[in-house]
Structure 1
Amino acid sequence: MKTIKKYYCLLVCFIMLGSLVSCGSNDVGEDLSIDNGKLKLSFSTENGSLVDFQDLIHDYEFLDDTGTLELPWEVNFNESQDSLTAAPANFTYSKSGPLKVILKWSGFKGETHKDFGITAEVTLDEEKALSYWKISLDGTHGKQINSVVFPKISGLKNMGEEKLAVPTWMGQILDDPREYLSQSTKDEKKMAWEYPGPLSLQCLALYNPDKVGLYTAANDTETFRKSFSFTLDKSNNLTYRMLNYPSFDKEVNLYAPSYEGVIGSFKGDWITAAEQYREWGGAQKWSLESRFEKGLNPKWLEETALWVWNRGYSENVLVPAADLKQRLGLPVNVFWHWWHGCSYDEGFPEYLPPREGKESFVQAMKTARDKDINAIVYMNSFQWGNSTESWKTENASEYAVKDINGNMRTHSYNIFTGNSLTNMCMATQFWQDKYTSLSDDVVNTYGTSGVYMDQACMNRACYDSNHNHPLGGGNYWLKNFGKLTNQIRSKFSEEKPSILAGEGGAEGWMPYLNAFLTLQVSRERYAGVSRWETIPFFQAVYHQYAITYGNYSSLVTPPYDALWPEEFRPDNLERPLDPKFNKQFLMEQARSFVWGMQPTISNYHSFLASKRKEEIDYLMDIARVRYKGLKYMLYGKFLRAPKIKIPEEELNISKLSIYAGRKGKGVTAYKKEHPLVYVGAWKADDGNIGIPLASISEKSIDLNFTINKEDYKLPSKGKVFITNKEGRELLFDFSEGDIQINYELSPREVSFIEVVPSS
């Protein structure tokens, strides 16, 4: 294919002055507005640009009135297509009732685009401060469209003290995104996120918590590929874009996405936005058909009290797990890397036989199962090392993802060898059969309890016409991931319940994966300290539909794969980190507890029980107390935690990989303020409210806070209990008025408060 260096943009922005306009409705006049009493949208009768975006409840106008009249869409073609340099000659409009406008553009210049037309329908919700934006393109026959931007909202003025919440994997939040963007050295000051993939759900929230907020989303129930972005202009205004990706099909003459863009207003914070999205997302098939919701998870997975994430031979993985299980007295299971016979991050998928040999591995797994320890093993979900022998002998390149120029997508993750991994196309039967065969072997021949599918919740655009899927855009990746997991499970025995876990959190994958590895709970350990802060956005929306686990929380220096080059092997493998970073470990475990995750420790060894006794004891407190409150922390629905005044402390933070030393690079140290108590709130199916508390302080802390009955929909009477490692104790009965909590948390106490309504 012809090399494509850039895309041309159709009508990115312009001022429609003196253009030819045809009015399609006599009763509209000059007022092209829709209003539902909560939200008002007005469009220019000259060119259809959005000129007024008002939150009527809070009397707020989102748009800067000094901005240019930019169209609410862009169409980006390949360079091989004729570019459009002038505005369309015709713009018509009409209103279909008080809540809907229909906008049409036609008469584009150029022979190629003479039959090209764009229709946009914008509809206000009858009850909510939401609007729905739908677009269709006529005359697409013979055209290669890279993306259709719609909706595009330009001229978003500063709300003051803004925050931006993004559900990237778990979720993250940024203070003052405009100032953050202004520091960019790139010509285009832009932040963008892909869905499905890094975005676990289709929603962004830009807001001033005391003023008003912008809610942007999509109501796509079929997980089509798209992306969302914010760009900053020279006037310090933001432009929001949702990019939709049509598949390349020259025979099709119409592109009309089955879903709509959602634009709205709200008052609150990221939790408010998550609750609004949850109302929609919880009713979709990925929630109703999730394995957790349908009771399709093995009992052992839901009963997991603690995961051990270790690497290497069985004696370095299963033996430490058995040690910790004995100390804890609750179910411990294993998340196992580097079990395979190939070098990590280059030898995939030549996993078998295991590096310690078949007989040793099988016997170790049998011994572990006899102790009720289940192990899931690492296998990347779509990578193939192109330096492997199998890459050549199995002609793997034929089934690899191809970009628009016909090139394979490769990346070198292994810094020690420089060898690359290449993306395999999920839609090919070849790859589905290959991965199914491997999964069948590791579970049924080698005795594991399942597979961790690394990079599972990702999405790749493939342009190989031989792969029998739409080219580029579409939703074929997730559909074929579903086919793959169904094919794998057809090989599993009901007598030996096994699971498939995956990296990240993603709404569309919930019917296919049993558990999700959400590592942002310890983001500082792999990304350092930055202005982005982790939030449990995914859990706030989907906790009751998906089991999340995992973190990078470790007390030792990283291991080194025995199959990597000897010359780069460090001397201090898996030795205790500087004690000054111990509190970081506590912080990560506290977050996991109150955010409703299954606890995990990375690189555990029995010597830590004495050398880092306080930290391991804290981890076991987390596991034991959580186990007493599974109705909340596993099965419960996320609620907003009560407001509590909590002291903070400057912590020592380490940035250090947990599984790959960095060629002589040691710990990168930071200091950052963190709260000394972590708090959550969960609602059980029986209506009880659980409020987990986890102190990381060496001192006692007095907590004084109010539980507002109206906020939690509680009746007038009931009881309040406290549960910690000592047991469960009644604090008091409550009747009239709100519930006032006065409780002294002991040093490093882990507990949860229960509010139990009277029957």
Structure 2
Amino acid sequence: MQVIRYFAVILFISYCTLVHAWSFEDHGEIVYIKNEHLLLGFNSKDGTLRQFDDIAENSPLLTETNTKNSLWQIQLQTPSEMIPLDIFSASRFRIEKVNTRYLQMIWSDFREIDNPDFEVVVSVRLNKNEPVSKWKIYLRGIGERQIEKVVFPKINGLKEMEAEHLIVADWMGSLLKEPRKYMRKNNRNYFGWAYPGHLSMQLLALYNPGKTGLYLSCNDSSAYRKNFGVGLDPQGYLSFQIDNFPEYDTSSDTYSPDYDAIISTFKGDWITAAEYYREWAVQQKWARESRLKNGLVPSWVEETALWIWNRGKVQGVLPPAEELKKRLGLPVNVLWHWWHGCPYDEGFPEYFPPRDGETLFKNQITKAEEQGIKTLVYMNQIQWGNATESWEKENAFQHAVKETDGKTITHVYNIFSGKALTTMCMGSSFWRDKYASLAGKAINDYHVGGIYMDQACLGYLCYDPSHGHPLGGGNYWVKGSGEVTRQIRSSSRSTDKIALSGEGVSECWLPYLDLFLTLQVSKERYAGVEGWQTIPLFQTVYHPYAVSYGSYSSLLSPPYDDLWPKESAPSDTLQLLNESFNEQFLMEQARSFVWGIQPMIANYKDFLATDRKEEIDYLMKLAKVRSQGLKYLLYGEFVRAPEIKVPEKELKISRLSIYAGREAERVTELQGSFSTIYTAAWKSDDHMLGIAMASILDHTFPVKLRFDTKTYGLQPTGEIFLIKENGKEKIGKYHNGKINLTIQLSPKDACILEFTSDNQSTLGNR
């Protein structure tokens, strides 16, 4: 069998070589490197990539028309102009094949610049026994010029795969089916994601489920600033690229990123890609120093059964939390917006005094604490309102992020007042000290439980030389953000551990933040039902390393800040949404439950317990079941669930601003097909298997499970338990390494099925 496979591979390589030789005979010979998995071919005259073949699947990944696409692009800044360079700018090129799996290419003698010493060197090497290629670029002879951006690698001319799926680590994770069709329909020829920033992990992939996939990543363990991008050319071919941002450093004559680009093939789906990334990711410093993994997260955060996200004055925030805590009988904590004395998205960072006044605010915080309710208060980590008095008085402009032309990054978030916020620089010690002192005041003087640091998991390039950080690229942003969290914690006089939260998720912030707000669970509320779908990509990689919590899930129309213009206030704030959207709420909560996310309800009011009883009861049930299975849904590792056939249903979806609705922009009703039963599988530290299930159906449904225990590292014999809101019970045993089980899910039901090998301990929290 091995001999047959060997000759099949040889014939495939010979065929591809012959075909490409015919196709490119006018453009030079093709120089190949290969291992048993991959075959890469480069033109000997200019270095264009002509072949990228998955040998195991007999699958060429590039179109044969990929003849004039550059592997790299450089933006070279001179005192007078920006000079773009690519491989066709060079008058000289040579290729050096070091061995069968490794080659180097050198471009020199560039017509656009008067510098004979300037060269671009690219090396490509294949791992010995894996479908992995590693790409490196090196620039030398830069002189006193500045390199603003190096696009490398850029893989053009990707052939269309049948039933294509594109996945991106866009915060939690996003999946786009048929990306070419979507991009053409929406007149988009490029998508880009910043890392560190919305790109929470260095990962994107294009694949046909169960067949060949192409995987793009970096082995950067130091959080250097970069972008990942996907492009579509006029011929309909996709491209992958990484934009690298060097530090502006006139003292250095060379540049090379401190990491490799990784381009691999794989067979599977988004879970396969995440598992492959996880092998590398959990060995990195941010995972080793994760606050959750090292027991540094405050215990009250880990014990939280339910979050309330309410806004405004005390009376609309803490009493509802107290009522819900009594109803649930488990820890309930608060994410609190609009507690501050300034208008939201306008007056930052003039948070003090609180809008309820100092005395009332402090008294109510203390009262809530006595009832076991903690508060995370909103304080944007990087924004300063440029219409505030403090902006001028404290010369905030000097410490804001500057672009290459010296301008700030200013944006109007507040559509009602039209006043803008400006992005501050985390590389500026002034801004770090300013923010840390404000957070310290909230913690030490007002006794809040922690700070929700909005926009904390973002990163920017700054070119202001007065800030004391490298200009442009580098990894100073994450370092600065980490320094702020250290300052806040070191200044805390709280007897309990304080919690620091970020918006979104990010691997870079695992050592610095205690929990991460996961709003993509409710993506349909702000982005509709077409296009990008949310997937738990980040949780698949990092769930045991990060507490994720929250959603936009709400049964009411949004509130309106009392400090915004009165004439813009809509008439139906905090009114019940139409009952037709109740299933959307159930769906969001079911997702959160099975994906291992701490549940949250936004805009909670006491009357919902009666007016939306079924929905609130469902939320209570999920929170209670989750609290019984924390070894899986808080500390467990995501694994592929057994294949389960579940029905889908057309649900009505409300799309409306989740912060503040307007009379001119009422609820948009959409419709989409969604699963009615949600499942996910989790492995615990003691090697047990938990399968979480949540149904939003209004009738009983039989769920059939058929799988081999060895798939999950279980012994051939063991016991099966059913975990519900009141505890767990044994429901059977399994034998001979086979699970053959049917469970009847009741209407609006939730549970965790636990599978334990013989001689293993029973369920207990970590």
**TM-score normalised by the chain length of structure 2:** 0.94
Give deviations 1:515-570, integer Å, cap 9, x for gaps: 00010001001112222111001111110100000100001111111111111112
1:662 shift after superposition: 2.7
Aligned equivalents of 1:210, 1:72: Cα separation in 2 = 29
Q: Map 1:536-555; keep pairs closer than 5 Å.
A: 536-555=536-555
1:18 shift after superposition: 8.4
Aligned equivalents of 1:102, 1:637: Cα separation in 2 = 40
Q: Is it true that 1:651 corresponds to 2:633 in the alignment?
A: no
Amino acid of the structure 1 residue aligned with 2:47: G
1:17 shift after superposition: 9.8
Q: Is it true that 1:377 corresponds to 2:377 in the alignment?
A: yes
Amino acid of the structure 2 residue aligned with 1:454: D
Match of 1:9 in 2: none
1:577 shift after superposition: 1.0
Aligned equivalents of 1:719, 1:275: Cα separation in 2 = 27
Aligned equivalents of 1:595, 1:182: Cα separation in 2 = 32
Contact 2:74 2:85 survives alignment (8 Å):
no
Q: Is it true that 1:91 corresponds to 2:93 in the alignment?
A: yes
Match of 1:274 in 2: 274
Match of 1:625 in 2: 625
Aligned equivalents of 1:17, 1:359: Cα separation in 2 = 83
Residues 335 and 696 (structure 1 numbering): CA distance in 2 closer, same or farther, change over 3 Å?
Answer: same
Contact 1:16 1:47 survives alignment (8 Å):
no
Aligned equivalents of 1:712, 1:350: Cα separation in 2 = 53
- Decide which moves more: 247-256 or 156-165: 247-256
Q: Is it true that 1:530 corresponds to 2:530 in the alignment?
A: yes
Aligned equivalents of 2:295, 2:115: Cα separation in 1 = 53
Give deviations 1:443-502, integer Å, cap 9, x for gaps: 110010110000000011111111111111111111111111111111123622101100
Contact 1:155 1:239 survives alignment (8 Å):
yes
Aligned equivalents of 1:662, 1:171: Cα separation in 2 = 30
Match of 2:81 in 1: 80
Aligned equivalents of 2:658, 2:65: Cα separation in 1 = 51
Contact 1:307 1:333 survives alignment (8 Å):
yes
Q: Map 1:276-291; keep pairs closer than 5 Å.
A: 276-291=276-291
Amino acid of the structure 1 residue aligned with 2:719: K
1:54 shift after superposition: 1.3
Match of 1:518 in 2: 518
Contact 1:631 1:684 survives alignment (8 Å):
yes
- Decide which moves more: 353-362 or 152-161: 152-161
Match of 2:40 in 1: 41
Partner SS state of residue 592, structure 1: helix
Residues 525 and 83 (structure 1 numbering): CA distance in 2 closer, same or farther, change over 3 Å?
Answer: closer
Gaps of 5+ in 1: 1-14, 22-29
Match of 1:165 in 2: 167
Partner SS state of residue 559, structure 2: coil
Aligned equivalents of 2:112, 2:338: Cα separation in 1 = 58
Q: Of the candidates 137, 141, 151, which is equivalent to residue 149 of structure 1?
A: 151
Aligned equivalents of 1:699, 1:446: Cα separation in 2 = 49
Aligned equivalents of 2:340, 2:726: Cα separation in 1 = 42
- Decide which moves more: 341-350 or 704-713: 704-713
1:82 shift after superposition: 4.7
Contact 2:593 2:599 survives alignment (8 Å):
yes
Contact 1:130 1:263 survives alignment (8 Å):
yes
Residues 625 and 82 (structure 1 numbering): CA distance in 2 closer, same or farther, change over 3 Å?
Answer: closer
Aligned equivalents of 2:129, 2:483: Cα separation in 1 = 39
Match of 1:225 in 2: 225
Aligned equivalents of 1:470, 1:436: Cα separation in 2 = 22
Aligned equivalents of 1:90, 1:710: Cα separation in 2 = 57
Match of 1:196 in 2: 196
Q: Map 1:486-525; keep pairs closer than 5 Å.
A: 486-493=486-493, 495-525=495-525
Contact 1:679 1:692 survives alignment (8 Å):
yes
Contact 2:75 2:83 survives alignment (8 Å):
no
Gaps of 5+ in 2: 1-22, 760-766
1:66 shift after superposition: 2.8
Match of 2:567 in 1: 567
Aligned equivalents of 1:470, 1:17: Cα separation in 2 = 47
Aligned equivalents of 1:480, 1:16: Cα separation in 2 = 50
Q: Map 1:645-724; keep pairs closer than 5 Å.
A: 645-724=645-724
Match of 1:406 in 2: 406
Residues 391 and 264 (structure 1 numbering): CA distance in 2 closer, same or farther, change over 3 Å?
Answer: same
Aligned equivalents of 2:107, 2:554: Cα separation in 1 = 58
Aligned equivalents of 1:87, 1:309: Cα separation in 2 = 55
Aligned Cα root-mean-square deviation (Å): 1.7
Match of 1:5 in 2: none
- Decide which moves more: 445-454 or 87-96: 87-96
Q: Map 1:273-312; keep pairs closer than 5 Å.
A: 273-312=273-312
Q: Map 1:353-368; keep pairs closer than 5 Å.
A: 353-368=353-368
Contact 1:278 1:541 survives alignment (8 Å):
yes
Q: Is it true that 1:343 corresponds to 2:343 in the alignment?
A: yes
Residues 61 and 338 (structure 1 numbering): CA distance in 2 closer, same or farther, change over 3 Å?
Answer: same
Residues 657 and 125 (structure 1 numbering): CA distance in 2 closer, same or farther, change over 3 Å?
Answer: same
Contact 1:76 1:146 survives alignment (8 Å):
yes
Match of 1:25 in 2: none
Contact 1:51 1:69 survives alignment (8 Å):
no
Give deviations 1:73-123, integer Å, cap 9, x for gaps: 111234714556963222222233332111111121245343210111111
Contact 1:34 1:40 survives alignment (8 Å):
yes
Residues 379 and 360 (structure 1 numbering): CA distance in 2 closer, same or farther, change over 3 Å?
Answer: same
Q: Is it true that 1:115 corresponds to 2:114 in the alignment?
A: no
Partner SS state of residue 380, structure 1: coil
Aligned equivalents of 1:365, 1:725: Cα separation in 2 = 30
Contact 1:707 1:741 survives alignment (8 Å):
no
Amino acid of the structure 2 residue aligned with 1:57: A
Give deviations 1:253-311, integer Å, cap 9, x for gaps: 10111101100000000000000001101100011101111110111010000011111
Aligned equivalents of 2:609, 2:51: Cα separation in 1 = 62
1:65 shift after superposition: 1.6
Amino acid of the structure 2 residue aligned with 1:561: D
Partner SS state of residue 710, structure 1: helix
Q: Of the candidates 174, 179, 191, which is equivalent to residue 177 of structure 1?
A: 179
Contact 2:704 2:741 survives alignment (8 Å):
yes
Match of 1:127 in 2: 129
Residues 356 and 406 (structure 1 numbering): CA distance in 2 closer, same or farther, change over 3 Å?
Answer: same
Give deviations 1:17-59, integer Å, cap 9, x for gaps: 989x9xxxxxxxx663222211221222122222211112111
- Decide which moves more: 67-76 or 308-317: 67-76
Contact 1:16 1:46 survives alignment (8 Å):
no
Residues 111 and 598 (structure 1 numbering): CA distance in 2 closer, same or farther, change over 3 Å?
Answer: closer
Aligned equivalents of 1:678, 1:111: Cα separation in 2 = 59
Q: Is it true that 1:62 corresponds to 2:61 in the alignment?
A: yes
Contact 1:77 1:145 survives alignment (8 Å):
yes
Aligned equivalents of 2:48, 2:576: Cα separation in 1 = 60
Match of 2:481 in 1: 481
Aligned equivalents of 2:65, 2:395: Cα separation in 1 = 59
Aligned equivalents of 1:17, 1:304: Cα separation in 2 = 66
Identity %: 49
- Decide which moves more: 536-545 or 728-737: 728-737
1:190 shift after superposition: 1.4
The alignment covers a number of residue pairs equal to: 734
Partner SS state of residue 457, structure 1: coil
1:16 shift after superposition: 11
**TM-score normalised by the chain length of structure 1:** 0.94
Amino acid of the structure 2 residue aligned with 1:613: K
Contact 2:570 2:662 survives alignment (8 Å):
no
Aligned equivalents of 2:54, 2:83: Cα separation in 1 = 40
Match of 2:12 in 1: none
Q: Map 1:403-482; keep pairs closer than 5 Å.
A: 403-482=403-482
Residues 270 and 150 (structure 1 numbering): CA distance in 2 closer, same or farther, change over 3 Å?
Answer: same
Contact 2:450 2:499 survives alignment (8 Å):
yes
Contact 1:50 1:69 survives alignment (8 Å):
no
Aligned equivalents of 2:565, 2:30: Cα separation in 1 = 71
Partner SS state of residue 481, structure 2: helix
Match of 1:215 in 2: 215
Amino acid of the structure 1 residue aligned with 2:514: N
Aligned equivalents of 2:376, 2:210: Cα separation in 1 = 46
- Decide which moves more: 539-548 or 249-258: 249-258
Contact 1:163 1:174 survives alignment (8 Å):
yes
Aligned equivalents of 1:710, 1:264: Cα separation in 2 = 28
Match of 2:5 in 1: none
1:69 shift after superposition: 4.3
